[in-house]
Amino acid sequence: MSDDNKTQQLESADDNNSDKNNLELSNNQNEKSAPIEETTDSSNDTVEKTTAAEASNEEVPENVSETSEVIEENDEVINEIEESNAEDAEDEGNKDRHKIEVKEYDTMSLEALAIELEKLLKNEKIQAIRSHVNSINTEFKLKLNALIDEKKEDFINDGGNEIDFYYSSPVQKRYKEAYKTYRTKLNEHYQSLEKNLKQNLADKLEIIEELKGLINLEENINTTYKHFKELQERWRTTGPIPRDKYNNAWNSYHHHVEMFYDFLHLNRDLRDLDFKHNLEKKLLIIERAEELAQDDNVMRAFRELQELHKMWKEELGPVGKQHREEIWGRFKAATKIINDKRHLYYQEIDLVYEKNLETKLQIIADIEALNNYENISHGGLQKKIKQVEALRESFFNAGKVPIKVNEATWAKFKEAVRNFNRKKNAFYKGLKKEQYKNLQLKLELIKIADDNKNSDDFEIVTPLMKKIQSDWKKIGHVPRKDSDKIWKQFKAACNSYFDRIHAKRNAASQEQVDAYDKKNAFLSALKNLELPTDKKEGIALIKKQIKEWQDVGRVPHDKRYIDGKFQKAIDSLLTKLKVEKTEAEMIKYENKLDNLNASDDNRNLDNERTFIRKKIDEVKGQINQLENNLQFFTNVNEDNPLVKEVHTNIKNHKATLDLLKAKLQKIKSLY
């Protein structure tokens, strides 16, 4: 039998009995004034009816021992259960919230937290998710504030004014919208709840008034008893009432139930049937509690135990005097086992939290250790930055710490990261000063190039232009925002000068015209070239064609487009041979380098080397950016389309990087 079926069995036990067998009181306080035993005079075989007042000095009211044990021993678990049940009195969502999985919100990214909040709003009752939303909101604020602090420091270090700083993200906007929806729905729920609570209170006060009227009614006792049962059922089915009215309403209700029982003691048969019924149901409750005492799921067992205590206290009346101490002792013993296991469970959680605290403190110490450096290079600092990023991620994934040190631990972590960032930013501020100095030097070289680009004194100016090109390479980095701009200015000035030289040198000679005609004929023949079936032989033949093309010689400057046509023809032949893309690219690139190397001026080969190096830096930067982006995909499966796309891009960029490195190595071999 499942746990749910067992609970249903407790709630529906003895359903086939008549109304007389279904007497259910709603709180153990009923039992303080339970029915008094009738006494029989054996001498005349008549029954004496003893009033409650007369019997009070002779007999202990039913279930007083149960209540007195709780008071005398100040049983912590009973108090905990009753306080929890009272707190939930007006909350219809308290059962639902126990069914919602409590996730490790402190390990989630900002995006994951926003998604989790949206899921809760979509799938769960608004009154059941309060504690979950509070945890999510706390973590989101902590992580967002940390991110904003970092962005703010970067903004200021880049020369921005603090008053102008502003940062926003799609995730922040998405979360705000979800949280606003939560607050709106929660307010609507409480407004509706308040209205229902007031109506339920009015209904219950009316029931109490009707209970008062049952005493001393001059009608058949069975009719009165049936009316009493109907009032009890109405009380149970009436919804929750305001929490601040809860105790007063219950006490008043219990008092008048007790008064009715005092009145009912005149009919022993009805009372004995109630005793029997209550005993049967309490034994079922005890059996279920004893089963729960063996359940490994401690929190689930404790939650159901709360319900059992609620049933015992609020739904069942007293039992016969001869049973009361025994059954309460059994129920209390099972309760103690479950409570002890619950406290042990929390102790184990505390140990886990303490271990997490040790881990986080070690991470903070590791970050602080990374902040101790002198005379570091840009590359060295970049390694430390990656280490700090990894430590930050480990900190967020380390789990919860004891709540009493949570804020202090977070503050210490933030300060360690902030100190590292301050020193890092100070380093780059110094680096930027040096870069600004380099910028001024390169601007001076640009001015020299611009002043001389139109000169016709080639013998004097050519060595000067080559010298400033060499000086440019020796000057270090400039600010990134200026790098491309000044390079294009410098390159344009230098190219303008050297293009004029080449234009003069490349005035079409008869020899170059003849070379053009030969290459035209060569190109036509190449289109009809038959390739051997063997791949190696085919590649050898293609390389031979390339060598013969180069041997033909240079063509006029305005006819150089024919080299592009030749490259396309070579591409077509390589495709027919099914040559790997990388190998084909290197074959063509060797041809290009041979052409550059054959020129009189080495600047073309130098420019090509500079270009390849620049491309390598660009591709490395793109790979780093993509790998950093992957760190934001927490709790996302590898088969996610977006994640797969990032991995594919990284793979393609790495293939491109390998090809560029091979090209650079080939260039170096020519020097």
From 52-56, 74-78, 419-423, the region with the lowest mean pLDDT = 52-56
185/600 Cα distance (integer angstroms) = 79
pLDDT confidence bin for 287, thresholds 50/70/90: very high
Amino acid at 57: N
Dihedral Cα 290, 291, 293, 296, nearest 10 deg: 180
552/520 Cα distance (integer angstroms) = 11
* Residue 632, number of CB atoms within 10 A of its CB: 12
From 269-278, 285-294, 455-464, the region with the lowest mean pLDDT = 269-278
590/577 Cα distance (integer angstroms) = 18
Q: Which residues on neighbouring strands pair with residue 48, listed in sequence order? A: 39
Is the Cβ–Cβ distance between 118 and 178 less than 8 Å? Answer: yes
Is the Cβ–Cβ distance between 232 and 24 less than 8 Å? Answer: yes
* Residue 4, number of CB atoms within 10 A of its CB: 9
pLDDT of residue 575: 84
Is the Cβ–Cβ distance between 396 and 107 less than 8 Å? Answer: yes
SS (H, E, C) 557-600: HHHCHHHHHHHHHHHHHHHHCCCCHHHHHHHHHHHHHHHHHHCC
Q: Is the pLDDT at 8 greater than 70, yes or no?
A: no
pLDDT of residue 27: 32
- Give the β-pairing of 39-41 and 46-48: antiparallel
pLDDT of residue 39: 28
Q: Is the pLDDT at 41 greater than 60, yes or no?
A: no
552/549 Cα distance (integer angstroms) = 5
What angle is formed at CA 206 by the lines to CA 201 and CA 207, rounded to 5 degrees?
A: 95
Q: What are the C-alpha distances in Å from 48 to residues 26, 52, 54, 107, 267? A: 30, 13, 12, 73, 12
pLDDT digits (tens, 9 = 90+) for 395-434: 888 888 888 888 888 889 888 888 888 888 778 777 778 8
- Mean pLDDT of the region 376-384: 83
Q: Six-digit token pair at 482?
A: 């200026």
On the 0-12 / 13-18 / 19+ scale of CB atoms within 10 A, 387 is: middle
pLDDT of residue 445: 92
pLDDT of residue 645: 85
pLDDT of residue 95: 54
> In this prediction, what percent of the chain has a pLDDT beyond 70?
80
Is the Cβ–Cβ distance between 71 and 103 less than 8 Å? Answer: no
Amino acid at 574: L
> In this prediction, what percent of the chain has a pLDDT beyond 90?
9
* Residue 396, number of CB atoms within 10 A of its CB: 21
User: pTM to 2 decimals?
Assistant: 0.41
pLDDT confidence bin for 246, thresholds 50/70/90: confident
Residue that is written with structure tokens 């886990």 in the block: 352
Give 41's Cβ-side CA count (13 Å radius).
Answer: 7
On the 0-12 / 13-18 / 19+ scale of CB atoms within 10 A, 335 is: buried
Q: What is the DSSP letter of 92?
A: T
Q: What are the C-alpha distances in Å from 303 to residues 82, 85, 312, 635? A: 12, 10, 15, 30
b/e string for 269-296 if b means 16 or more Cβ within 10 A?
ebbebbbbbbbbbbbbbbebbeebbebe
- Mean pLDDT of the region 252-256: 80
> For 601, phi and psi rounded to 5 degrees?
-100, 130
pLDDT digits (tens, 9 = 90+) for 433-478: 888 888 899 999 999 999 998 888 888 889 999 999 999 998 888 8
108/144 Cα distance (integer angstroms) = 12
Mean pLDDT, the chain, integer = 77
- Mean pLDDT of the region 586-598: 75
Q: Which residues on neighbouring strands pair with residue 41, listed in sequence order? A: 46
pLDDT of residue 542: 86
Q: Is the pLDDT at 504 greater than 80, yes or no?
A: no
pLDDT confidence bin for 340, thresholds 50/70/90: confident
Q: Is the pLDDT at 42 greater than 50, yes or no?
A: no
* Residue 46, number of CB atoms within 10 A of its CB: 8
From 76-85, 579-588, 611-620, 638-647, the region with the lowest mean pLDDT = 76-85
Contacts of 263 (CB under 8 A, 6+ apart): 214, 215, 216
Amino acid at 260: F
Listing DSSP states for 140-206 in one string gives: HHHHHHHHHHHHHHHHHHTT--GGG-----HHHHHHHHHHHHHHHHHHHHHHHHHHHHHHHHHHHHH
* Residue 437, number of CB atoms within 10 A of its CB: 12
Which among 70, 10, 35 is positioned nearest to 319, based on CA atoms?
35
pLDDT of residue 614: 92
pLDDT of residue 266: 54
Q: Is the pLDDT at 77 greater than 80, yes or no?
A: no
Q: Is the pLDDT at 37 greater than 90, yes or no?
A: no
pLDDT of residue 366: 92
pLDDT of residue 126: 82
pLDDT confidence bin for 518, thresholds 50/70/90: very high
Residue that is written with structure tokens 């048969």 in the block: 269
* Residue 108, number of CB atoms within 10 A of its CB: 21
Q: Is the pLDDT at 33 greater than 60, yes or no?
A: no
Is the Cβ–Cβ distance between 241 and 249 less than 8 Å? Answer: yes
Q: What is the DSSP letter of 31?
A: G
pLDDT confidence bin for 86, thresholds 50/70/90: low
Amino acid at 272: D
Q: Where are the domains of the chain?
A: 1-40+69-91+196-334, 93-167, 347-421, 599-671
pLDDT of residue 494: 93
b/e string for 593-625 if b means 16 or more Cβ within 10 A?
bebbeeeeeebbbbbbbbebeebbeebeebbee
Put residue 220 in one of left, alpha, beta given phi > 0 → left and psi -120 to 50 → alpha.
beta
pLDDT of residue 91: 55
> For 39, phi and psi rounded to 5 degrees?
-115, 145
First to last CA, the chain: 85
Which among 451, 463, 352, 335 is positioned nearest to 66, based on CA atoms?
335
Give 441's Cβ-side CA count (13 Å radius).
Answer: 17
Three-state DSSP class for 467? helix
Give 233's Cβ-side CA count (13 Å radius).
Answer: 9
pLDDT confidence bin for 296, thresholds 50/70/90: confident
pLDDT of residue 88: 57
Is the Cβ–Cβ distance between 438 and 478 less than 8 Å? Answer: yes
328/285 Cα distance (integer angstroms) = 11
What angle in degrees, to the nearest 10, is found between the helix axes of 170-212 and 130-157? 160
What angle in degrees, to the nearest 10, is found between the helix axes of 243-264 and 221-237? 160
Q: What is the DSSP letter of 242?
A: -
pLDDT of residue 85: 57
Q: What are the C-alpha distances in Å from 277 to residues 314, 339, 508? A: 15, 28, 119
Q: Is the pLDDT at 175 greater than 70, yes or no?
A: yes
pLDDT digits (tens, 9 = 90+) for 98-111: 567 777 777 788 88
pLDDT confidence bin for 185, thresholds 50/70/90: confident
